Amino acid sequence: MRTLPVMLALAGAVLAGCQGVRDTLGINRKGPDEFTVVTKAPLAMPPDFTLRPPEPGAPRPMELDSQRQARAALTGARSAAVAAAPRAGTSEGELAILRRAGAENADPNIRNILREETTLLAERDRAFTDKLIFWKDPVVETETLDAAKEAQRLRENAAAGIPPTAGETPIRARRKRALLE
């Protein structure tokens, strides 16, 4: 019975010597990492004090009129309608820059064009990857003539007086390739 407390004390001393146990139990003291200490930035006032809270039922300044959106969706001139519609808060200078950049002549099918182009790139990359992975050309299955059986068939046909084209031509069965072959 006396050996149990001695064994427990010995096990405790051995475990206290292990670095991982000392870290887990908090015996080793570590100071804060000087690179992870960050000071909080001071609060700043917003740059525009003229902003007012939105009024209930008022139209949002960044949205287009619902009738314009419906007309653009039905006629298919969505990009021209969006680019030509002056938004609230858009200055004449910004509108002039947008017109000069050709925003009103934007292609409405640009998403489809980009999708096709990226699909072509992905297919080209896939073909390159397949060439790297499967570096051997695929084996074309061709029929191979069994020469010994064909010679015997021709001899038997000649002995029997049958033309050489009579009868089936013996074909050798292709052996299946092994997995790593």
pLDDT digits (tens, 9 = 90+) for 141-161: 677 888 899 999 999 999 999
In DSSP terms, which residues pair with 145 in a beta bridge? 171
CA dihedral 26, 30, 35, 36 (to 10 degrees): 20
pLDDT confidence tier of residue 135, bands split at 50, 70 and 90: confident
Res 64: pLDDT: 64
Shortest CA distance to 172 belongs to which of 150, 153, 152?
150
Q: Is 76 domain-assigned?
A: yes
Residue 97 included in any domain: yes
Q: Is the pLDDT of residue 120 over 70?
A: yes
Single out the residue of 41, 86, 40, 51 nearest to residue 65, CA to CA.
86
Which residue in this structure is represented by tokens 């096709």? 116
Amino acid, single-letter form, for residue 140: V
pLDDT of residue 80 exceeding 50: no
Domain annotation covers residue 89: yes
Least trusted range by pLDDT, from 26-40, 54-68, 72-86:
72-86
Average pLDDT over residues 14-42: 70
- State residue 63's pLDDT score: 65
20-29, 67-76, 89-98 — most confident range: 89-98
pLDDT, mean over the chain: 76
**What single DSSP character describes residue 71?**
H
Report if residue 126 sits inside a domain. Answer: no
Query: Is 7 within the bounds of a domain?
Result: no
In a domain, 133, yes or no: no
Overall domain count for the chain:
2
For the chain, percent of residues with pLDDT exceeding 70: 74
The residue segments making up the domain with residue 100 are: 66-105
Please report the pLDDT score of residue 25 as a whole number.
Answer: 73
- pLDDT score, position 165: 87
Predicted pLDDT of residue 75: 75
Evaluate whether 108 touches 76 at the Cβ level (below 8 Å): yes
Q: What confidence score (pLDDT) does residue 127 get?
A: 73
Q: How many Cβ atoms sit within 10 Å of the Cβ of residue 172? A: 13
Is residue 88 a part of any domain in this protein? yes
Determine, yes or no, domain membership for 28: no
Report the alpha-carbon distance of residue 105 to residue 91 in Å, rounded.
Answer: 20
Domain boundary among 105, 126, 154: 105
Supply the pLDDT for residue 62. Answer: 62
pTM for this model (two decimals): 0.24
> Average pLDDT for residues 21-26, to the nearest whole number?
74
